[in-house]
Structure 1
């Protein structure tokens, strides 16, 4: 019977965890876009994806938030294991993952005419709607901080990429947080989400490849 050395076993676990960092973005963006393009009354240029948690099919987006959040949490553990000196980066990515899970449990309020039949405008604000916004804000700021913290432990090119990705996402978040529902701000945030999930995937792949082989 062959015994697998502890280091190899640990690296296998770390690689498995980092793999979820690659899957999280395509899962969240793919499921969200599929709904945004097919659900009645949803306007991709006007409605934030959080509104998809409402209506008879709202459970799809709620599940999307939770599953994606769990994937990000797994990737966060992988980052912390792969970069011992950068554990804070892993913790901050973990906060982002936890915020996605919370955002799934704390449904956003119907608004801006979605779901169909909802009055146009900001709509009624509930306690869970406020909590959804708070959870999202904490998570978004945490992943921005994670990108900057992790940059300190990467090569020059990847460090620059991390800082730019974090900054782009921060600007996109600031735009939509201003309350302006103009198409440029809404689509800008969609682009920002794609940028930060792409960053998570790139970092996860990079760390995966840096781990010693078997």
Structure 2
């Protein structure tokens, strides 16, 4: 079977194709903006439970922000960002070569976006303190994290395979697996604590935004 990009369909383009690039570009600034703003506004709450930018307690950040005085902001951040990632992934699928690895990669991105959206179920206090979830929403949140992390790490590697040989996407065929390595390394927080997770988020959403910008140029 010949590896070809999806051809445009007649008539109006699907919503996912029209909105895909914008969704991918907007996801990172929205999520990081709300997280950073909420972190600043909730700093007294965070410090009271042992959070520090460097060091501090091992807490599920930024999830724990949902339990603070502006918890609604974190709920919105998860729900809307997840939806944006799903829209982006569906749009991306129509613009990359038709091959099994492309289906796997974009499915993993959809799974990641869905898991981010379901993370809007608030983490509970037992989870914050290192225990097993004690509420239904806590379990949903915990399972969502377990799904999201491997999904995005695998997506970076598989997407590299999906884009190989396509000159329009050549830089991303090389860079995407390297992004996966950088994401994995940034999860090793060590003494830098939550600061390295913010680096993780910056790398992740920077990669998605770069893909979205290329998607806007390439089109379906």
* TM-score, normalised by the number of residues in structure 1: 0.79
| Contact 1:24–1:68 (8 Å) recurs in 2 | yes
Corresponding position: 1:66 with 2:83: no
Contact 1:79 1:87 in 2 (8 A): no
Which runs of 5 or more residues in structure 1 are unaligned?
Answer: 115-120, 177-181
Q: Deviations over 1:28-81 (max 9, x none)?
A: 000000011121232451451110111342111111110111111101111111
Say yes or no: does 1:206 pair with 2:214. yes
Unaligned runs of 5+ in 2: 1-7
Deviations 1:100-156, CA, capped at 9 Å, x for gaps: 111102x112379x8xxxxxx536742433432221121121111111111121544
Per-residue deviation, 1:172: 2.9
Equivalent-residue separation in structure 1 for 2:217 and 2:33 (angstroms):
26
Query: CA 1:172 to 1:134, structure 2 compared with 1: closer, same or farther past 3 Å?
Result: farther
Partner residue, 2:32: 29
Paired residue for 2:124? 109
* Mapped contact 1:141–1:170 kept (Cα < 8 A): no
- Mean Cα deviation higher: 65-74 or 159-168: 159-168
Matched, 1:50 2:59: no
Structure 2 CA distance for partners of 1:44 and 1:67, relative to 1, 3 Å: farther
Take 1:123 and 1:92, find their aligned partners in 2: how far apart are those partners?
Answer: 28
Give the aligned partner of residue 41 of structure 1: 45
Give the superposition deviation at 1:27.
0.3
Q: What is the deviation of 1:7?
A: 4.4
